[in-house]
Structure 1
């Protein structure tokens, strides 16, 4: 961790100096027009099991939520378990082609060696409905949640965790391979380790072993998926962290695994105009700076790192504080259109970006709190017993985007690029977009 902090500090110093040089480069008078993303581009929505399903089975996260340590109790989240059909219709109405969900290990294997067909039947129905609605499922195998009986065995500190993880995930693959899903093996591995540290699932001394086991789990299920689906598309989505730490962080997981496409989660920006903050780490996500052009820099970074692999934005969205207007007056529809503009710029510049998922379809339980609202449909879990899905202004904006394959060619973002971005230094500062 100390080494990582030093790398971040060094990177920040480099880009601060580079920014003084970059600032003298004259901006072009008019940015280029942006052609649409094309009929093969995949627009989607994202969700996760524990965060949205309700009726949570015994797991590491249901135990944490019930421990009193979380900011808010879990209640019953947004009850996707009972409202899946109507939520799938909401996604279909947006015109998207991909629906991301989780098949929760804790739900389908409540005890060691015991799998429950009744709970698999829920996912059977959901995935069939996704397909019937004209969408392709994107199945996340592990979104930071594992069964309570695995907690009792030590979680990721347990040397047998990988074998037990693979035993379940092979069943999931076998059951749903017929639907030709896109696969995400492990959601944000680095953040997963961070969450385990924060919730007490492991201590600092256990971090290297958890990374090793996540690598073994990913590569094991990657090989298995390809043995039964030779043409499968498999990834593990990376949570992009501004500041230049990405090359160091990648050595723990991404540089050690096989991928068919690069899954990227991108949320926050940082530059000389808007220096980085600790807001995402302390839970006030809505106060963190959003610089939409940062998604271009992130895509360019991964395109250069993985020149033979396509890129997919698995998660992107904008948080608000309990649905209130952000202090920077950035509205969800404007943010969505601005982001899609930069996707089109990336595509026009030859970057092989193939898809984009909005996080998330509805508000949900953001790992201990209902305050951070990311939903394109907002839900007042704590105050509305009907859990009504209320459309935000991004709903009609997304419909128009999916219908037209992007924003109009002459669209201009509502936010100008920041000075000397440190999303992916030094290139994001020395090679700025205008």
Structure 2
């Protein structure tokens, strides 16, 4: 028996745009309609109208906590105009969770912006910081009594890189200058949001949800191996270490520019870790477009998910150890999951990753909770509904969008009931 601490928090996670549907005033919605090759989120799994049904499922499955997101585009569809109907709808959603005894982890920003913000040059525009903080203050004043945990920004570096370096996400820029502007303004936005939440609720627990893929050089010999190791050091800095160092010190990492941010230093009460997979880039002359690295290389004997991402549970423990060494703050696993349409690997994935989390706890690191991604099948940003992350299955072609808990959902419920993994 691998027993977890008595106060360990078990739950699952989602994001608003990916499950709610109908986020019509957002930049993603407009971008989906304007891009021929981009899948449409449409009504997603219609959580916006079916939240009571979904919350009943959460309660029946024994989940103690739920991480979900407020959509800025719903709250403030036009600049300076807060939608009272959307506010009251969110209040009903929050109250519904509270009535069932389910604790709330509330995400304030999960990549998606109001269209009016996108039209003013999104996060490149310094005015966006003040506008975001106005939205945050409004949300905090309205809903401060509900959340147990707050997430200011979800995976800010993923959004910054995909939107401004690779050009995969809106606004599809390829500009180092824009990338630096975006990261600086998002750091300012986080610091301001942290201050506002504590101003209205001094005892709040506020954090970031950061993406931490485990990056490990392939291990080629000679110059190829040296190049792989160098590429990994640079990649770690760009993907998460530069942001983490900025938050830890209160000063921009040189990658982002120069200067300090008021209130940024140490502006987290806990560290949110989003962990899914390992990447082992291998030197290849055939891959000039990815820096002569085969990013999809998989060592022999390593299993993969439907995305062909490597399943490597040890990576979550190593990531926990690394983040703990950097911040010495309590840790929540804010996302961990697998794209597994057949549900043939999800149960083992959950158990093996929880075993590694348990080992980290045994080594003295305070990991206080686990949110599985995701509670229900959702709209994936570039893949539409093809990739299935949910503990609960939903067929988007089913006009009734019937919910079907998968076998892995029942396994996870038993783990929660036992507060650990039985033999």
Q: TM-score range by the shorter chain?
A: 0.7 to 0.9
- Residue in 2 aligned with 1:255? 245
Q: Is the CA contact (8 Å cut-off) linking 1:270 and 1:291 kept in structure 2?
A: no
1:58 matches 2:72: no
Aligned in 2, Cα 1:335/1:241: closer, same or farther, shift over 3 Å?
closer
Take 2:37 and 2:203, find their aligned partners in 1: how far apart are those partners? 41
Structure 1 length-normalised TM: 0.80
1:111 aligned to which of 36, 61, 78: 78
Match of 2:331 in 1: 311
Deviation at 1:159, TM superposition (A): 2.1
Shift of 1:59: 1.1
Q: State the alpha-carbon separation in 1 of the partners of residues 183 and 158 from structure 2.
A: 11
**Conserved? CA contact 1:64–1:199, under 8 Å:** no
Q: Deviation per CA, 1:383-432: give whole Å up to 9, x if none.
A: 21111111111111111110111102xx4xxxxxxxxxxxxxxxxxxxxx
- Structure 2 residue corresponding to 1:98, chosen from 58, 65, 87: 65
Q: Which residue of 2 aligns with 1:380?
A: 395
Q: Secondary structure at the match of 1:129?
A: helix
Count residues with an aligned counterpart. 364
Shift, 1:279, TM fit: 9.0
How far did residue 263 of structure 1 move? 0.3
Structure 1: stretches of 5+ with no match in the other structure: 1-33, 412-434
Match of 2:316 in 1: 295
* 1:364 aligned to which of 378, 396, 403: 378
Conservation of the 8 A alpha-carbon contact between 1:237 and 1:264: yes
Correspondence for 1:67 among 34, 37, 44: 34
Contact 1:285 1:319 survives alignment (8 Å): yes
Per the TM alignment, residue 249 of structure 1 is displaced from its structure 2 partner at its CA by: 3.6
Residue 200 of structure 1: how far off its partner (Å): 4.1
Mean CA deviation greater in 136-145 or 284-293:
284-293
Deviation at 1:271, TM superposition (A): 6.1
Instruction: Determine if contact 1:66/1:74 at 8 Å carries over to the other structure.
Output: no
Report the Cα offset of residue 248 of structure 1: 4.7
Residue range with higher mean Cα deviation, 238-247 or 143-152: 238-247
TM-score (norm 2): 0.82
Q: Which residue of the other structure, out of 171, 177, 187, is the alignment partner of 1:215?
A: 187
257-266 or 149-158, larger mean C-alpha shift:
149-158
**CA separation of 1:200/1:131 partners in 2, compared to 1, >3 Å: closer, same or farther?**
closer
Native 8 Å contact 1:41 1:354 kept in 2:
yes
Equivalent pair of 1:332/1:393 in contact (CA under 8 Å): no
* SS of structure 2 residue aligned to 1:113: coil
Decide which moves more: 65-74 or 96-105: 65-74
The alignment yields a C-alpha RMSD, in angstroms, of 2.2
Pick the aligned partner of 1:162 from 123, 129, 133: 129
Residue 349 of structure 1: how far off its partner (Å): 1.6
Q: CA deviation at 1:294?
A: 1.5
How far off its partner does 1:70 sit?
Answer: 4.4
8 Å Cα contact 1:166/1:220 also seen in 2: yes
Following the alignment from structure 1 to structure 2, what is the Cα–Cα distance between the partners of residues 350 and 73? 45
Partner of 1:186: 153
Question: Quick check: 1:319–1:374 contact (8 Å CA) kept in 2?
Answer: yes
Closer, same or farther in 2 for the Cα pair 1:113/1:248, shift >3 Å?
Answer: closer
Deviations 1:95-149 (A, max 9, x none): 1211111111000111111001100111100111111111111110000011111
Partner of residue 397, structure 1? 411
Mapping 1:4-23, distance limit 5 Å: none
Greater RCO, CA 8 A, separation 6+: 1
| CA–CA distance in structure 1, aligned partners of residues 199 and 185 of structure 2 | 21
Residue pair 1:35, 1:348 contacting (<8 A) in 2 also = no
Alignment counterpart, residue 235 of structure 1, candidates 193, 201, 207:
207
Where do 1:36-55 residues align within 5 Å?
A: 36-55=3-22
Instruction: Indicate which of 150, 154, 160 corresponds to 2:117.
Output: 150
The question of whether the paired residues in 2 share the 8 Å contact of 1:36 and 1:407 is answered with yes
Q: 1:76 aligns with which of 19, 29, 43?
A: 43
Q: Distance in 1 between matches of 2:192 and 2:160?
A: 19
SS at match of 1:236: strand
Range with greater deviation from structure 2 (196-205 or 79-88) = 196-205
- Partners of 1:195 and 1:176 lie apart in 2 by 31
Please state whether the residue corresponding to 2:371 is helix, strand or coil. strand
